[in-house]
Amino acid sequence: MKRLKGIPVSAGVAIGYAKIIEREKLHIDRKSIPKNMIEAELKRFKDDVDFVVKEIEHLISNYSYSKENEEILTAQKMILRDPEFSKRVTALISEELDNLENAISTYFTEITDIFNNMDNEFFSQRLSDFEDVAYRLLSHTLKKRKNLLNKLDETSILIMENISPSFVTKVFEKKIQGLCTEKGSKNSHSSIIARSMNLPTLVSTIELLENIEENQQVIIDGNKGELIISPTKSILEKYEKIFQQENAEKEKLQKLVNIESKTIDNRKIKLMSNIEIPEEIDQVLKYKSEGIGLFRTEFLFIDIDELPSEEEQYKIYRKIAEKCYPEPVIIRTIDVGGDKFSKILNITHEENPNLGWRGIRISLENIPIFRQQVRAILRANIKGNVKIMFPMISCVEEIIEAKKIIEECKKDLKKEKVRYVEDIEIGAMIEIPSAVITSDTLAEECDFLSIGTNDLVQYILAVDRDNESISKYYKPCDPSVIRSIKLTVDNAHEKGIKVAICGEMASEKIFVKLLVGLGIDELSVSPGRLLIVKNEILKCDKKNAEKLVAKILRKNTSDEIYQLLIK
């Protein structure tokens, strides 16, 4: 038995037999053509593009199981219909006398080089779209098509080096159990599609292909991020029970989609979603989330060579706001720094990055960029359901300065006669001890507070949450963390504003009763955890939760608190 570590993309357990699929490497014969063949080669180009476009349209019609899936495939069709693509390939054939295969290969190689030179994770994740289109077109042009799906059935776990978005769509139709790749990233289009289909998936699985053989029995643990190869009888029996429990649980949870998230004694807990990228919005809508409690905007700013324009940001924010209406969308301003570098904002390596240029500090040192983002958010708030939230607030002065900039942006938009809604709610993230201690003052300047428990635990306990060697010191149920949350809630409620939790504590079943008892008004979780958390809320009695909190506040150690939570 072997265990390999991977990055979990879509949660859940899958049990089946390894089916290894490797794309055939395409050999491009780089030869020139005589001038009298130019027209014939150009016609072949048109015919082959038309064929592949129709093929993608067939995928959209027959294998699209979500809006985001359809949008990804449509984007691939647009790559083939891009005038620049046609112009470049036509020039290579007509002027350079390249044969069609060489011209197509040259174009996509040039595009790949451009994206790779950007050193931008956002664009590198989208490279798979271009690679997918290039392979699809070239394999048709070279007459190298193979039906890679014949070996797959309902017992299969697909093993690949990497997988294209359209191929995820097609293998899902085969009702495979799960998917595991050696390469890939959590937010690639392929991963997004796998999540939308709730297909247990691991990516970036270390040394996958050299440790696995065809037809070996395997288990994907999409919760822990493990691939188990040739499990022992006892391990297999353990995971078969987990698999059955998960399926039964999914059926039960699905019935909760239209049920309001209230405790047994009728205490309303607003349940919202955290999203990293716009493509996750379909998951938010699927589970009837009560809005977006945290829309992280870092994907627009990390390791790019050119800043997103105000117009680009506005279109993204507005689209999300319109899809969620009338539910709220809380947009967090730029939160780079720490482990998230940004060349364009001059955020590079620091000796102590988590205590360096982070969150609101970056925005207040880059006013033109900050104003651009604020203007985009204000413009996107056409229907009045957008809120703005500032990260890593350490003192009230930062809030006051940020609010002044918002007012300046409003005046500018008014002068320019640009449409926006005058009233927009403003919130602060409580993530560091100084914000907890002065939460009463911060609450006077804000319309809401949101506690980011991931960083709060890190800063209160002085433990780097990304450092595995000290992970045992990262304790969300430490007394200092619990008391910090309570102090923040009490101070906010005294000033008449609500408090949300948008960190990982909100997504964990074990903490739901605790957070309800502490008086939290809203929880914001990853979309895939929403029904799980809702189920815990529905089972919770607020009075009992408050009694539990009273006991917890008298405990001195995290172990004592943990034992109370698991009773």
- 189 classed as catalytic: yes
- Enumerate the H helices of 341-478 as residue ranges: 360-365, 367-380, 396-415, 433-437, 439-445, 453-461
How many H helices and E strands in the chain? 21, 16
Mode of pairing for the β-strands spanning 386-390 and 270-275: unpaired
**Which position among 180, 477, 502, 540 bears the catalytic label?**
502
Distance CA 280, CA 284 (A): 7
409 catalytic residue (yes or no): no
Q: How many Å apart are CA 519 and CA 542, to the nearest integer?
A: 9
Q: What is the distance between the alpha carbons of residues 540 and 533, in angstroms, rounded to a whole number?
A: 11
Q: What per-residue string of b and e applies to 445-476 under the rule 16 or more CB within 10 Å gives b? A: bbbbbbbbbbbbbbbbbebbbeeeeeeeebbb
Alpha-carbon span 317 to 373, nearest angstrom: 10
Taking a C-beta distance cutoff of 8 angstroms, is the pair 212, 16 a contact? no
Q: Identify the H or E element spanning 424.
A: none
Q: Which residues contact 170 (CB under 8 A, 6 or more apart)?
A: 59, 63, 149
Give 97's contacts (C-beta < 8 A, 6+ positions apart): 32, 33, 34, 35, 38
The answer to whether residues 1 and 230 touch, using CB atoms and an 8 Å cutoff, is yes
Q: Show the CA angle centred on residue 214, arms to residues 212 and 217, nearest 5°.
A: 75
Cα dihedral sign for 434, 490, 510, 328? Answer: negative
Strand pairing class (498-501; 448-451): parallel
17 DSSP β-pair partners: 156, 217
Please give the span between the terminal C-alpha atoms of the chain, in angstroms, as a whole number: 34
Catalytic residue among 180, 189, 324, 540: 189
Assign 484 to helix, strand or coil.
Answer: helix
Residues with catalytic function: 189, 502
